[in-house]
């Protein structure tokens, strides 16, 4: 079963989901729209930024006390935070020297952001202050496109246009004056920019422009502050991916160039595994999507937003 809503006078690029409260943030040119999917799809809030050049490329929900809040990041390199429960502006952080490509919540107190300026930074939400920088001499050399945090909250993975993957140990004691260096860095697996990276249990899943999704197994050596990676399998694609992939439970969902939504059972991972097609959008252009539980949420180019079952 699927449902769809059209949002007029909007130009969106990305989306994020808070499944606990059944809401979605659609972010783009100067604005974000909050859509509830508790009983069908319904627009419940709209945020308009005052800066004419702002273009939000990512967003993330977080809790400020008991209030649902939203962090927005975009081309200006500024993180802007809004209390959705009260309809008030919390504040802003001049976070990066380039556009922000991703924001991730970390525990209940922090946000992680990555940027065109080659760095990843951690922010204390209550203080609006930087508490850790992942970068420096051993860090990324170009645009950081994607980040993810391991299930045990101990490790951070990142990738970008320098064709490298880096894994960082998140410090127990945060000191903004120190640059954290990676415990694993690889530049030889891929010849193309690595566009998306996700932890899946003890595996790390990532995609570059080689018509395949790579899966590696990680072994951490605590005494040496290092990690080793072994190839665990590959998902072979007929075409390049568009934008990213997502993992919900044991299902990997992605969008390929032909506008087909494909899915793959991660329990079947092997050295040469093939996904199956879920749905085709041949006459439409998909801007972004997210998979949560047994549903996939799809943002179309014409500012239409829809949800459908994965099963």
**Rounded Cα gap, residues 302 and 41, in angstroms:** 16
pLDDT tens-digit readout, 214-226: 999 988 887 667 8
- Domain residue spans of the chain: 237-311
The per-residue pLDDT for 279 is 80
Q: How far is the C-alpha of 144 from the C-alpha of 57, rounded, in Å?
A: 13
Give CA–CA dist 129/147, Å, rounded: 20
The helix or strand, by DSSP H or E, that contains position 248, with its residue range, turns out to be: strand 241-248
Q: How far is CA 74 from CA 25, 183, 282, 283, 310, in A?
A: 14, 29, 29, 29, 30
Residue 192: per-residue pLDDT: 86
Residue 173 has a pLDDT of 80
Residue in this structure with the two tokens 């180019």, named with its chain if needed: 301
The pTM of the full predicted model, rounded to 2 decimals, is 0.93
Mean pLDDT of 53-59: 96
Q: What is the pLDDT of residue 69?
A: 97
pLDDT of residue 148: 98
The string of DSSP codes covering 263-307 is EEEGGG--SSB--EEEEE-TTS-EEEEEEETTEEEEEETTSEEEE
- Identify the residue whose tokens are 């419940």: 44
Q: DSSP secondary-structure letter at 139?
A: S
pLDDT digits (tens, 9 = 90+) for 236-289: 888 889 878 999 999 999 998 888 889 999 988 875 667 888 888 877 889 999
pLDDT digits (tens, 9 = 90+) for 166-213: 999 999 887 766 778 899 998 666 788 999 999 999 999 999 888 889
Question: What is the per-residue pLDDT across 35-53, written as a single tens digit (0 to 9) for each?
Answer: 999 989 999 999 999 999 9
CATH of domain 237-311: 2.40.10.480
């Amino acid at each position: 079963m699927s449902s769809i809503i059209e949002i007029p006078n909007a130009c969106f690029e990305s989306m994020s989901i808070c499944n606990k409260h059944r809401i979605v943030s659609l972010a783009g040119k100067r604005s974000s729209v909050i859509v509830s999917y508790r009983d069908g799809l319904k627009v419940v809030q709209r945020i308009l930024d005052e800066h004419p050049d702002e273009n939000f490329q990512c967003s993330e929900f977080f809790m400020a006390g008991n209030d649902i809040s939203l962090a927005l990041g975009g081309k200006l390199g500024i993180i802007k935070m809004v209390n959705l429960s009260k309809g008030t502006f919390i504040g802003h952080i001049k976070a990066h020297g380039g556009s922000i490509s991703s924001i991730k919540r970390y525990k209940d107190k922090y946000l992680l952001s990555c940027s065109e300026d080659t760095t990843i930074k951690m922010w204390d939400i209550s203080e609006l202050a930087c508490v850790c920088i992942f970068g420096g001499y051993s860090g990324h050399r170009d645009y950081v496109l994607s980040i993810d945090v391991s299930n045990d909250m101990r490790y951070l993975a990142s990738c970008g246009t320098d064709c490298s993957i880096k894994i960082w140990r998140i410090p127990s004691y945060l000191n903004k004056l120190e640059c954290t260096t990676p415990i694993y860095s690889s530049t030889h697996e891929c010849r193309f920019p690595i566009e998306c990276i996700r932890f899946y249990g003890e595996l790390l899943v990532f995609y570059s422009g080689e018509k395949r999704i790579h899966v590696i197994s990680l072994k951490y050596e605590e005494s040496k502050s290092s990690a080793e990676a072994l190839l665990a399998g590959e998902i072979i694609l007929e075409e390049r991916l568009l934008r990213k992939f997502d993992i919900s439970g044991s299902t990997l969902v992605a969008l390929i160039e032909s506008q087909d939504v494909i899915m793959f059972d991660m329990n079947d991972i092997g050295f040469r595994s093939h996904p199956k097609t879920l749905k085709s959008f041949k006459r439409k252009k998909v801007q972004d999507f997210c998979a949560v539980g047994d549903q996939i949420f799809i943002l179309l180019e014409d500012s239409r937003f829809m949800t459908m079952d994965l099963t």
